Amino acid sequence: MWKHLKKWLGFGTVIKENEEDLMKKFLVVGLGNIGDKYHNTRHNIGFKILDYLAKKEEATFETVKLGDVTTTIKVKGRTLILLKPSTYMNLSGKAVKYWLEKEKIPLSNLLVITDDLNLPFGTLRLKTKGSDGGHNGLKDIQDKLQTTKYNRFRFGISDAFSKGRQVDYVLGEWNEEENSKLDERLETSAELVKSFALAGVNNTMNQFNGK
């Protein structure tokens, strides 16, 4: 009887529509450290990609709980929420978990953007799961979400540093050659993020990985 009553009252339709709306909402998290001194460093490429995408889509960031979040970005029926955690890199998981739960976004619709020393400069790689690879931001996200199965977009920063200079390198600013190529890489990165929401993770991996 309750089944028929729900149908008559339209509850089933509402629930279905709400579920469909949630599947069209995405949380895109760029990892980085807050503060002007980190603004143009290699380690902050996650922030930089989100800044580029927000500007392109004419969205603005607001400082709210645990980070800077954009006003809603609409892309062909999909809703993108961009998050730059204010927790510092090593505690990023707290912000990611909070905003996933607050916006009721399924884990499959999470995309985390980070730098990667193991990839040549500007190389893009999207994966659906994996280890933290020694990256403290990913390590904390894995700890807070209790899973390694979440989408991550790695942007190559290369490993062109001498022994014992890794920290100085990742927290250093882009060199002249890298800066000259950065705008094109940011444009492609922005297209990857939108493709993730529109075409799905598998199609996006096929189109962008290694480019």
Q: Express each pLDDT in 52-102 by its tens digit.
A: 999 999 999 999 999 999 978 999 999 999 999 999 889 999 999 999 999
Residues 151/128, Cβ–Cβ less than 8 Å: yes
* Number of Cβ atoms within 10 Å of the Cβ of 77: 8
At residue 183, the 3 state secondary structure works out as helix
At residue 103, the 3 state secondary structure works out as coil
Closest by CA to 83, choosing from 105, 65, 68, 98, is 68
188 in a domain, yes or no?
yes
- What tokens were used for 171? 């927290």
pLDDT band at 129 (very low <50, low <70, confident <90, very high): very high
Closest by CA to 155, choosing from 137, 142, 168, is 137
8 in a domain, yes or no?
no
The more confidently predicted of residues 24 and 162 is 24
Residue 146: CATH number of its domain: 3.40.50.1470
Task: State how many domains the chain has.
Answer: 1
14 in a domain, yes or no?
no
7 in a domain, yes or no?
no
pLDDT band at 112 (very low <50, low <70, confident <90, very high): very high
Amino acid letter, 141: I
2 in a domain, yes or no?
no
16 in a domain, yes or no?
no
**Residue 43 catalytic?**
yes
Per the structure, the complete domain to which residue 128 belongs is given by 24-208
Q: What is the rounded CA–CA span in Å between residue 158 and residue 65?
A: 33
